[in-house]
Amino acid sequence: MTLYPEAKRGVRWLTKEEVTRLLHALPPHQRQLARFALATGLRQANVLGMRWSAVDLERRTAWVHADEAKSGIAIGVPLNDEAIAVLREEIGKHDDYVFTFRRRPLAKANTKAWQNALRRAGIEHFRWHDLRHVWATWHVMAGTTLGELQELGAWKCEAMVKRYAHFAPEQLRKAADRLATFWYTAPKASGAEPPQPIDSGGQGRN
């Protein structure tokens, strides 16, 4: 039996309007998870497992330890204003874990409540992990370079980042404009002889 390679799944992302609909449809505790994922690009396991001991609000940084990272390398996570806002809203809910439900750590985010929210928001074929694709896509559209994105997302392989390159072709416009010095100019019709009459009789006049 011949085995064929599995078709690659394209990058699934959402517009800001779609994300707003989804966030409105989510229950509060899952809305916080999704907001933090969209602000940081962290994977589901790292969001669910985030502990206060790995968060420094003053330095605006969080950490994912090497044994918790998919790449096996520790990750320093810069926290933007949205991420800081989410964290401040979670202060006091649990002494150890950042994100909880009824004061208990969450085991997973892709739950029935998540699926119901997708339906209410009118969003199809979207996984929880696709929030990371949304984060990466929005970054590239905002002008983040692929090198910066690779560092932010802690990807070891450059090829994993290049799948987002087509979302910002304008970043290559400066390179394309380097050939703008060559322009084809059509030749001008200068000094052309006027058309000559055709002698149909073959004989001249007397």
pLDDT tens figures, 19-78: 999 999 999 999 999 999 999 999 999 999 999 999 999 999 999 987 787 777 788 999
Given a contact cutoff of 8 angstroms between Cβ atoms, the answer to whether 91 and 32 are in contact is no
**DSSP assigned state of 75:** E
Q: Which of 59, 70, 88, 120 is catalytic?
A: 70
Res. 1 pLDDT band, cuts 50 70 90: very low
| 132 is a catalytic site residue | yes
| 205 is a catalytic site residue | no
Given a contact cutoff of 8 angstroms between Cβ atoms, the answer to whether 109 and 33 are in contact is yes
**DSSP assigned state of 42:** -
Q: Quick check: 8 pLDDT over 90?
A: no
Given a contact cutoff of 8 angstroms between Cβ atoms, the answer to whether 123 and 22 are in contact is yes
| 108 is a catalytic site residue | no
Has domain 16-126 been given CATH number 3.40.50.620?
A: no
HEC string for 103-130: CEECCCCCCHHHHHHHHHHCCCCCCCCH
Q: CA-based Rg of the chain, rounded to a whole angstrom?
A: 29
Where do we find the tokens 């009459």?
Answer: 197
| 164 is a catalytic site residue | yes
Q: Which of 21, 132, 133, 139 is catalytic?
A: 132
| 70 is a catalytic site residue | yes
Residues contacting 77, CB < 8 A, separation 6+? 40, 42, 61, 62, 63, 64
Report the predicted TM-score, pTM, of the whole model to 2 decimal places: 0.75
- Which pLDDT belongs to residue 61? 95
- Which pLDDT belongs to residue 3? 37
Q: Which of 108, 129, 162, 166 is catalytic?
A: 129
Q: Which of 21, 35, 43, 139 is catalytic?
A: 43
Residue spans of beta strands (DSSP E) within the chain: 55-56, 61-64, 75-78, 100-101, 104-105
Q: Quick check: 120 pLDDT over 60?
A: yes
